[in-house]
Structure 1
Amino acid sequence: MASRSEQFKTPALVRAAFVDGLFEVVTDDRGSKSWTCSLLIPKSDSLAAYEKAAVEAAAAEWGGNEKAIKMIKDKIIHSPFLDGDGPQGKSKKTGEPHAGFPGHWFLRVKSGEAYRPTLIDRKKLPITSRDQLYSGCYGYAVLHCFTWENKEKGKGLTFGLDMFQVAKDGDRLGGGGGVDVDKWAEEIPDEGAAPDSTKSGAGAGGLFG
């Protein structure tokens, strides 16, 4: 059975991409149905909070922090952090980078079919329209990390999406579980820069490099 970390809120704004999967269930090549999108994190931002959750989940599943960290560093566990400047950040059809992906790490976040993520606006009201949440807008997410294992790919980590709160608009990129809203969300002004404290991390060049 998969292990998972505690929920946490992204410490800085993330950018949503491929959000069609938050409005229509996606079926993968293994027949698994889920709600899904990608979250873009600038490479200048710290990934410490994400890495902490990843180690927590891996340690619970595979035998403690030290063993989990070694497995991660030895790449025995597939990393959930994908490089927007690498092959996974490019279109398989054209080879061109996906819009907005260069200069970012990205996470393919997902939630099982029975646990649609909570989607809310700046005032904590439910999002009902794709015009309110589109590929390219910015927000804060509530996530958890979970483990997985299968014969084809081995062991890995993925981030589950529990909530996304839109914080501000951005240029459209194209493409397209319950959570306690009052615990994680607050009303957000229309504009606001991320604090300097979120821009000092080494990113996935650290534990997951």
Structure 2
Amino acid sequence: MAKVVTGKVRFSYAHVFTPHAIEEGQEPKYSVSIIIPKKDKKTIAKIREEIEKLTKEFLQAKGLTKLPAKFYIPLRDGDEEREDDPAYANSMFLGASSKRKPQIVDDSVQPIIDSDEFYSGCYGRASINLFLFDKAGNKGIGVGLNNLQKLEDGERLGGGSTAEEDFGSEDSDW
């Protein structure tokens, strides 16, 4: 297992206050998609380095010379896999999850307890751990979610509007 603390990233699909099951019947987990700008070469290099170490470890443990065809690598290219989503443009991304609730703090490392303060679209840093898995025919590298730090606000992802936006205008037809 290898721990990585990212540089400034953007968060999406943030289920960090209440566990969420992606599919019916799955165990609910705390999870987040971590969007890493391609210009953050340091974070991407750290993650790739740990992926390389873990793949070598897997190959040695299994006595293999090449990875199985369906070996899961978590770091993905947003321009290729999420080309219709502008939030993922010019970025790499990975999903992280945990059965344990992550600690969520602000830029002064003070706890954030209001779920409206940390949301899909805000920016911050993530503490993650990469690990090998080989379970029920699935093999690859998983990403565990440790802790999150919010550094700044960003445009909310996933649509929706505030009550202020909906009802605050005097240009209403009513």
Task: Pick one of 134, 137, 150 that aligns with 1:166.
Answer: 150
Q: Secondary structure at the match of 1:158?
A: strand
| Identical counterparts, % of pairs | 28
Q: Which residue of 1 aligns with 2:115?
A: 130
Q: Is the 8 A contact 1:137 1:171 kept in 2?
A: yes
Q: Secondary structure at the match of 2:18?
A: coil
Task: Pick one of 48, 55, 62 that aligns with 1:51.
Answer: 48
TM-score (norm 2): 0.76
Gaps spanning 5+ residues in structure 2: where? 161-174
Task: Pick one of 6, 15, 28 that aligns with 2:10.
Answer: 15
Q: Which residue of 2 aligns with 1:102?
A: 89
Larger Rg computed on CA atoms: 2
Which one has a larger percent strand, Structure 1 or Structure 2?
2
Question: Runs in 1 of length 4+ with deviation above 3 angstroms?
Answer: 56-62
C-alpha distance in 1, partners of 2:159/2:104? 18
1:37 Cα shift?
A: 0.8
Q: 1:141 to 1:175 in 2, by over 3 A?
A: farther
Task: Pick one of 126, 131, 138 that aligns with 1:141.
Answer: 126
Matched pairs, number? 156
1:85 Cα shift?
A: 2.2
Letter of the 1:25 counterpart: P
Letter of the 1:104 counterpart: S
TM-score (norm 1): 0.65
Gaps spanning 5+ residues in structure 1: where? 91-96, 177-209
